[in-house]
Structure 1
Amino acid sequence: MRGAMSTHSRQAVSGLGAVLGTITASGVKLDDFKHEVQDYLVAELPGTLHLPERELAGAISGISDVANGGTTGTGRFLLQKGEVEEAVWSLGKGLKAGDRVLAMRVNGGNDIVVLCKVVSAHA
């Protein structure tokens, strides 16, 4: 009885959980599944983006000078600390074929959700 329950439990949870995969031109190929999955979901993280005060250097052009002519040059810009409400980080827009990803099986293994891109810690 115990052996049968253990076997049924293993079968029930096999194919569930997190798995590594690779984005392809038309889907995602999971490391532990031989077929490409074309119908998958991608995590999207809505929220408020907090930006610290920071200073950036860059080019400036098109600003009118005293004689109403355009001026160009370089400058330093101080950006105040602030928040961007209703910001959304859309992971799917940043993925491309060949990217390694962490995916999660949900809904009894019927759906795949790509959670993030994974990279080497030594890259």
Structure 2
Amino acid sequence: MNDPYKELAGSLRDQIAGYTRNAVSGITSELGTITETGVKLDQFKHEIQDYLVADFPVTLKFPAFHLLGTTTSLIDAEGNPLGESSQRMRFDFEESEIEDVNINLSAGLKPGDRVVVLNCNGGKDVIVMCRVVSSGG
């Protein structure tokens, strides 16, 4: 006897997979290199000067942790110590969450950086998604 719930679940899964294939069918990804004035894709001979950069608004969640350090009683305007430092101390931090943090990928990109780029809208738009580095460091 066929289970109607399994058949329904299978049908929904197949439909969702079809919608997903159609939605991303025009999106390809490739590697590129940031230049002084744009991004140069590995598979495209021209530099692209008008490109997009992914934006990642996040909420940072910190676990409880501690740090070891010293304190300085007085500092100048630049933060340089004017007085004596304390003995080493332990600073305990409670678990906390910071909302509305924005990871500014664009500000961290430098010429020569290797990046993953998505081609969208038939190649009319390119989006730099992230910087990539060798697994060796």
TM-score (norm 2): 0.67
Evaluate the alpha carbon distance shift between residue 59 and residue 114 of structure 1 in structure 2; reply closer, same or farther with a 3 A threshold. Answer: farther
Give the one of 92, 106, 109 matched to 2:120. 106
5+ residue gaps in structure 1?
Answer: 1-11, 64-68
Which residue matches 1:36? 47
* Alignment RMSD: 2.4
Please give the secondary structure, in 2, of the residue aligned with 1:62.
coil
Paired residue type of 2:67: L
Paired residue type of 1:110: K
Question: 2:39, 2:89 → 1: CA distance?
Answer: 44
Higher strand share: 1
Residue 85 of structure 2 corresponds to residue 72 of structure 1: yes
5+ residue gaps in structure 2?
Answer: 1-24, 75-81
Paired residues, number? 106
Q: CA deviation at 1:57?
A: 2.8
Using the aligned pairs only, state the percent identity.
46
Q: 1:32-72 CA distances to partner (integer Å, 9 max, x unpaired)?
A: 11111111111111121111122223443235xxxxx9542
Paired residue type of 1:72: S
Please give the secondary structure, in 2, of the residue aligned with 1:72.
coil
Give the one of 68, 73, 78 matched to 1:62. 73
Evaluate the alpha carbon distance shift between residue 98 and residue 58 of structure 1 in structure 2; reply closer, same or farther with a 3 A threshold. Answer: farther
